[in-house]
Amino acid sequence: MDAVVLMDNLWVIIAGILVLLMQGGFILLEAGSTRMKNAGHIAGKTIFTIGIASLVFWAVGYGFIYGDGNKFIGLSSFFYGDASPADGGLTTSVDFFFQLAFAAIALTIAFGGFAERAKLSAYVIFAVLFSALVYPVVAHWIWGAGWLKDLGKQDFAGSTVVHLTGAMAALAATIVLKPRLGKYGKDGTMNQLSGHNQVYTALGVLILWVGWFGFNAGSTFGVSDGFFGYVALNTQLAAAAGAVAAMIVVRIMTGKADIPTTLNGALAGLVAITASCAFVAPWAAVVIGLVGGIIVYFSMKLFDKAKIDDPIFALSVHGAAGVWGTLSTGFFATPELAERNGGLAGLFYGGGFTQLGVQAIGILSCAAYAFVISYVILKVMKQVMGTIRVTEEEEMIGLDMSEHGSYGYPESFSAAEESSSNKKTTA
């Protein structure tokens, strides 16, 4: 193996590790954005569902994406075990690990729609079925030998494949599970069920931000020409613009620089640039991030008004920003970068509406597939299991105790219970 191939393989395996580390960011983001009584559950289910996603991806997921088959799905390379050496490029095992990390991220995004009300068994079954039947099909269409790839769909690192797919599954879950207890009053008013730790959410976003360089720059699959640095630059600019735009818009609209909105703005900028990071100029990356930060604020308000209870804001951050990011290449892709990475130049560079139309077709088809299949899976699960939601009593107690028998913060709850007991004794 020559030095260039060795460096390419080393970079991609490091990038895959960075993507896997993003799960730590999701743990802190999701736990911090929800209530203390569910924190241990959220952290624990993330770990074991990564395990499920990994095993399913090894068994069938990779084969459905990259195996020989047809324009809809791959049909070979199941129970993956190829140890072929590099032939002028990546070793197959390095590529497998990198792709596996992406599949696990999509599942984690989907689980945002389950937060604080789904049974543990629902997570297990949905993890298996989503990892086998939803994500791999969309990934095959765009990144495998699928029909959208043939059309020239541009999605460099997954605004559609990972983020929109996960968000549509989350939407299906929020609809089937219905809102959390106390989220909406009988008169239709919306009650704020605030997360318990904004420091956790901020640290989670920072971990995700750093991990995103594995996500985007790692998708160059090499370092020899230095293009991964260009992708990293666009990623950083979009994230920064998203955070600033969200903070400004929420300050204008509410008079307060709301922290969760600012954090979601950074994530929206990252999601938006994920499709286009290898296709656009740096100035366009700033615009894409700015628009992403604005979109995330108004979409959060829109979903709340529609009584769609999304505690982690997966629909806004990964769904709305994923749609915008996918469309953005149809506007901003430069002729040179489009020629290098596939597809056509964008509308603002004289490419007409062709690429924009392809991007829109990709959004509609992938979103519809991910939502419909996820919704059917959840409805069938509900029918077979009787319910996929915990009881009202279990939800009030919290999933830490009702599903696992212990709190994520045992000392805090023990102190609260002792204080309550003392007050009753005194009375």
For residue 249 the two structure tokens come to 């818009």
CA distance 272 to 310: 19
CA distance 156 to 211: 16
Does some domain include residue 316?
Answer: yes
- Percentage of residues of the chain with pLDDT beyond 90: 88
Q: Lowest-pLDDT range, 158-167, 172-181, 418-427?
A: 418-427
Of the chain, the end-to-end C-alpha distance in Å amounts to 78
Does some domain include residue 283?
Answer: yes
* 380, amino acid identity: V
225-273 confidence digits (pLDDT tens): 899 999 999 999 999 999 999 999 999 999 999 999 999 999 999 999 9
196 Cβ neighbours under 8 A, 6+ residues apart: 32, 34, 35, 36, 39
pLDDT, mean of residues 329-352? 96
> Structure pTM?
0.94
* Residue-number span of the structural domain to which 383 is assigned: 1-408
20-68 confidence digits (pLDDT tens): 999 999 999 999 999 999 999 999 999 999 999 999 999 999 999 999 9
Residue 164: its pLDDT value, please? Answer: 98
Phi/psi of residue 118, nearest 5 degrees = -95, 145
Does some domain include residue 420?
Answer: no
3-state secondary structure of 201: helix
User: For 5, left (φ over 0), alpha (ψ -120 to 50), or beta?
Assistant: alpha
- Between the CA of residue 182 and those of 39, 101, 189, 192, what are the distances in Å? 19, 36, 10, 9
For residue 121, the surrounding DSSP H or E stretch is helix 120-129
pLDDT, mean of residues 301-310? 93
Does some domain include residue 423?
Answer: no
Q: What is the CATH number of the domain that holds 109?
A: 1.10.3430.10
Does some domain include residue 269?
Answer: yes
Does some domain include residue 282?
Answer: yes
CA distance 112 to 322: 15
Phi/psi of residue 306, nearest 5 degrees = -85, 5
- Percentage of residues of the chain with pLDDT beyond 70: 95
Residue 347: its pLDDT value, please? Answer: 98
pLDDT, mean of residues 167-176? 97
Residue 410: its pLDDT value, please? Answer: 84
State the pLDDT confidence band at 81, using cuts at 50, 70 and 90: confident
133-164 confidence digits (pLDDT tens): 999 999 999 999 999 999 999 999 999 999 99
Choose among 382, 394, 399, 317: nearest CA to 44. 399
Does some domain include residue 100?
Answer: yes
Does some domain include residue 369?
Answer: yes
Please tell me the total count of domains within the chain. 1
Mean pLDDT, the chain, as a whole number?
A: 94
For residue 185 the two structure tokens come to 């009053």
415 Cβ neighbours under 8 A, 6+ residues apart: none
User: For 289, left (φ over 0), alpha (ψ -120 to 50), or beta?
Assistant: alpha
